[in-house]
Amino acid sequence: MKKFILAVLAVLPMLAIAAGPSMDLDKANNDLRDKESLKRGFEAYINNCLACHELKYQRYNRTFADLGISDQDGAANYMYTGEKVGDHITNTMPGKEAAKWFGSTPPDLTLEARFRSPDWIYTYLRSFYADESRPFGVNNKVFKDVGMPHVLQNLQGVRTMDEHGNLSEATGGSMTTEEYDEFARDLTNFLEYTGEPNKLERENLGYWVIGFLFILLFFAYLLKKEYWRDVH
């Protein structure tokens, strides 16, 4: 037992180092029940992210069905490359060339919200700032030395960071700060949905399972009393 405890204590610091430094994240406060937000997030992803980042574990027709979009409307307004509605949401970017352009192949984002968290994605989308030392002229407070350009800069505008690590208000974007925050929240909402499309169903089913277990516990208690009645 003593050796086991010492082994656990030795591993804990390594786990803390692997997790990396913690930082305060902004709350996304997104709502998976908001279908209109999910639709806006889906459209935002198709128009701004899909050229580089695939969702290869998510199908178009599943997304259409869950978001209340007909296959005809979806094919006309969300599928710009002519795929079949049953196809996965992919792009045609060549992986080897992309690795040369960006330093590494842009990752698939289907499970990003489960890997990072919705709050991380929301904060990341809002934390780009000007940094002339970087190849694309920007850096990110959440993801230091990120290897991608700020593709939403025309919407958000440009932010700067002072010597204390504080970000300025964005200037020069086509959206106000409030509008861009809502845009980032919709996009975050959609990425949380793709990470687990049946999350709401699972959570609702969980209440029924817990209720069943309480009922089972009640009958198990009565059965226990019946078995032990003669013993006592």
Judge contact between 67 and 35, C-beta under 8 A.
yes
CATH code of residue 68: 1.10.760.10
What is the span of the domain harbouring residue 185? 27-224
The reply, when asked if residue 49 is annotated as ligand binding, is yes
In a domain, 14, yes or no: no
The tally of domains found in the chain comes to: 1
For residue range 134-177, list pLDDT tens digits in order: 999 999 999 999 989 999 999 999 999 999 999 999 999 999 99
In a domain, 127, yes or no: yes
Residues 6+ apart with CB under 8 A from 129: 138, 139, 140, 141, 158, 159, 160, 161, 167, 168
The reply, when asked if residue 52 is annotated as ligand binding, is yes
Q: Residue 230 — pLDDT band, cuts 50, 70, 90?
A: confident
The reply, when asked if residue 23 is annotated as ligand binding, is no
Q: What span, in angstroms and rounded, lies between the C-alpha atoms of 104 and 51?
A: 15
Q: What span, in angstroms and rounded, lies between the C-alpha atoms of 69 and 66?
A: 8
Note if the pTM is more than 0.85.
no
The reply, when asked if residue 53 is annotated as ligand binding, is yes
